[in-house]
Amino acid sequence: MDLATDPHILSIGEALMDIVVPADSPIAAVEIPGGSPANVAMTLGRLGRNVGLQTWLAHDERGDILEEHFTASHVVITEESFGADHTPTALAKLNEKGAATYTFDLDWCPNSPIAVSTQARIVHSGSIAAVIEPGAHAVLDAMITARQHAIITYDPNARPALMGTPEEALATVNKFIGISDVVKVSDEDIAWLTNGREIEDVVRDWLTAGPSLIVVTKGKEGAAAFTSSGVRRSIPAGDVKVEDTVGAGDSFMGGLIDALWSLGLVGAMSRPALRELDAAKVDFILERAATIGDITVSRAGANPPWLSELAEFLA
């Protein structure tokens, strides 16, 4: 796949090494490739989509492992992605329920301006890449420019340890909300960013800022979708045994983008259709994303399903 000539999805943001520490055995830490935008790209690559990743890595041992890991899932990493002094890490400490708390060691200084091919039909970013300077400003500029030819998707994926105060983080998040077509956000992110405001009040405000679709994930309560045209749909959480939640939201986001591609909602020309989503299409988007997320939480680490595994799960 050639990013210059082939229609594709571009995910912009961090790829890093997750150092996962189990709750019951702290000395049994394992290193697993991760990073929210990179995991989104991996999900899409495994689902058979043409996908590129603009990230920020070093040519060190961990960087080489990350490159091998993501390219094995059919992700094309841009040449501009290799310029960091060291490959970033995230220490993920799991509690007894499998939920992760993160401590990060990274910088985010991608080349500016970030190059986005006109063949990119969907451009995604979020998480650390959309808040850590100087890269966050470059990401915002790239996504604004990409709106001319692409649908823009965004996941705040809040990391309080890196984002300053909730008020500071929300100001940045609102900038990305305003230029995005589709937003995925967790109920926990909304609670932290807005000091516990009601979800529907926050979503209503965000929908007036520009997005056509906002999907709120709610953990064991499933997910809910809200459109600018007034459609409201929800889906319960799947009946799966949770191994851990590492990468679950990223897999859900990847599944959401995959559903958009399946529906032909790609490229700037599809923006009017995206604004007129009906309940059936919203249900399809929710079901696709939730199923992919369910498979991911049923096994350790950020390990989204391959297309063949998804087909087997749905059979």
pLDDT at 270: 98
Instruction: Look at residue 94 and tell me whether its pLDDT is greater than 90.
Output: no
Contact 37, 109 (CB under 8 A): no
pLDDT at 95: 83
Confidence of residue 62 (pLDDT cuts 50, 70, 90): very high
Percentage of the chain surpassing pLDDT 70?
A: 99
Query: Could you identify the residue written with the tokens 């709120």?
Result: 216
The HSE-up count of residue 231 (CA atoms within 13 Å, CB side) is: 21
The torsion region of residue 35 among left (phi > 0), alpha (psi -120 to 50) and beta comes to left
pLDDT tens digits along 223-236: 999 999 999 999 99
Cα 38 to Cα 125: distance, rounded to the nearest angstrom: 9
Task: Mean pLDDT check: name the lowest of 26-35, 190-199, 249-258.
Answer: 26-35
pLDDT at 290: 96
What average pLDDT is seen over the chain? Answer: 93
Task: Over range 116-135, report the average pLDDT.
Answer: 95
Among candidates 113, 138, 139, which has minimal Cα distance to 126?
A: 139
Task: Over range 79-86, report the average pLDDT.
Answer: 94
Q: In the chain, which ranges are continuous DSSP H helix?
A: 36-46, 61-72, 135-146, 160-163, 166-179, 187-194, 199-209, 248-262, 271-274, 279-297, 307-314
Instruction: Look at residue 190 and tell me whether its pLDDT is greater than 80.
Output: yes
Q: Set out the domains of the chain in order of their start, with CATH numbers.
A: 8-314 (3.40.1190.20)
Q: Residue 156 to residues 19, 28, 83, 176, 253: CA-CA distances in angstroms?
A: 22, 30, 25, 9, 11
pLDDT tens digits along 265-300: 999 999 999 999 999 999 999 999 999 999 998 887
pLDDT at 93: 83
pLDDT at 22: 82
Cis before residue 134, ω within 30 degrees of 0? yes
Cα 13 to Cα 251: distance, rounded to the nearest angstrom: 15
Rg (CA), the chain: 18
Task: Over range 36-49, report the average pLDDT.
Answer: 98
pLDDT tens digits along 168-184: 999 999 999 999 999 99
Please tell me which residue, 220 or 189, carries the higher pLDDT value. 189
Can you give the pTM of this predicted structure? 0.94
The torsion region of residue 282 among left (phi > 0), alpha (psi -120 to 50) and beta comes to alpha
**What angle separates helix 36-46 from helix 248-262, to the nearest 10 degrees?**
50
Instruction: Look at residue 47 and tell me whether its pLDDT is greater than 90.
Output: yes
pLDDT at 63: 97
Q: How many residues are given for the chain? A: 315
Read off φ and ψ for residue 306, nearest 5 degrees. Answer: -75, 160
Cα 175 to Cα 173: distance, rounded to the nearest angstrom: 5
pLDDT at 232: 98
Confidence of residue 154 (pLDDT cuts 50, 70, 90): very high
Confidence of residue 107 (pLDDT cuts 50, 70, 90): confident
Instruction: Look at residue 102 and tell me whether its pLDDT is greater than 80.
Output: no
Which DSSP string do the residues of 59-80 spell out, in sequence order? SSHHHHHHHHHHHHTTEEE-GG
Instruction: Look at residue 27 and tell me whether its pLDDT is greater than 90.
Output: no
Amino acid at 26: P
The torsion region of residue 25 among left (phi > 0), alpha (psi -120 to 50) and beta comes to beta
